[in-house]
Structure 1
Amino acid sequence: MSNVSYLRAVGSIIYAMVCTRPDISHVVSVVSRYMAYPGKEHWEAVKWILRYLKGTTDVGLIFDRAKISDSLAGYVDSDFAGDLDKRRSLIGYLFTLSGSAISWKATLFPVAGDE
């Protein structure tokens, strides 16, 4: 990994996440916070993600026209000050169509009173 740029490695993982792998979105958002000054532990996290992706190549978004029904579902979740570095809260949502994710987002917000 010493010959590979941290930015390029994280960028490649982001591409996979956006296109077919929403299951890694949280961990990708965490390693993306350290793009300016990555440390050894951040490289280890990126290598872990890459090993996870290699071991789960059969996992991803699959849309089968024959199985699509009108079942649209939405989910939302949050935590309170879960980011230990800056005491920010994580809020996220996920929408699925026939069991496959079609839209998702997670955002960090400052805890009230810490602005």
Structure 2
Amino acid sequence: MIVRTLDAQRDPFRPKEDEEEILEPEFHYLSAFGTLLYLAQCTRPNISFAVNLLGRYNNAPKCRQWNGVIGIFRYLKGTTDLGLFYTHESPNVATLYGSRIDFCLVGYTDAGHLSDPHRARS
């Protein structure tokens, strides 16, 4: 996953350095980002923060952002049992892996004010 840090040299979202080059078209960065955006909006909201950070660099992605995309895909491959499952049954009962379960939607939030350490915004 993508991790923010207060150390400017280790932050993967620091400003572009002079020796960095923009990715070539054969990397298909926008196609991979579109796939991640679909997953973040429909079935995997746990990756939405990282995907939104990568979306800031769609105009001129660099190798750092491509490594972030690859890292999210590796995370998704390792957590295939997580996600939102939509069923056609009654809204209070779902069947998951052959067993009926009662469910309700529970949401949590983290109000971390160091999400953007360079501008100190939430």
TM-score of the superposition, structure 1-length normalised? 0.62
Residue in 1 that maps onto 2:15: none
Q: Give runs of aligned pairs for residues 17-32 of structure 1, distance below 5 A.
A: 17-32=40-55
Structure 2 unpaired stretches of 5+: 1-22, 87-93
SS at 1:87 equivalent: coil
Structure 1 unpaired stretches of 5+: 90-115
> Percent of counterpart pairs with the same letter?
40
Matched AA of 1:29: N
Runs of 4+ in 1 over 6 A off after TM superposition: none
Residue in 2 that maps onto 1:58: 81
Larger radius of gyration, structure 1 or 2?
2
TM-score of the superposition, structure 2-length normalised? 0.59
C-alpha distance 81-54 of structure 1, shift in aligned 2 (>3 A)? closer
Deviations along 1:14-44, one digit per CA (max 9) or x if unpaired, are 1111111111111111111111121111110
Residue in 2 that maps onto 1:15: 38
Q: How many residues align?
A: 88
Q: CA deviation at 1:73?
A: 4.1
Bigger relative CO (Cα 8 Å, ≥ 6 apart): 2
Residue in 1 that maps onto 2:11: none
The 1-side partners of 2:84 and 2:105 are apart by: 15
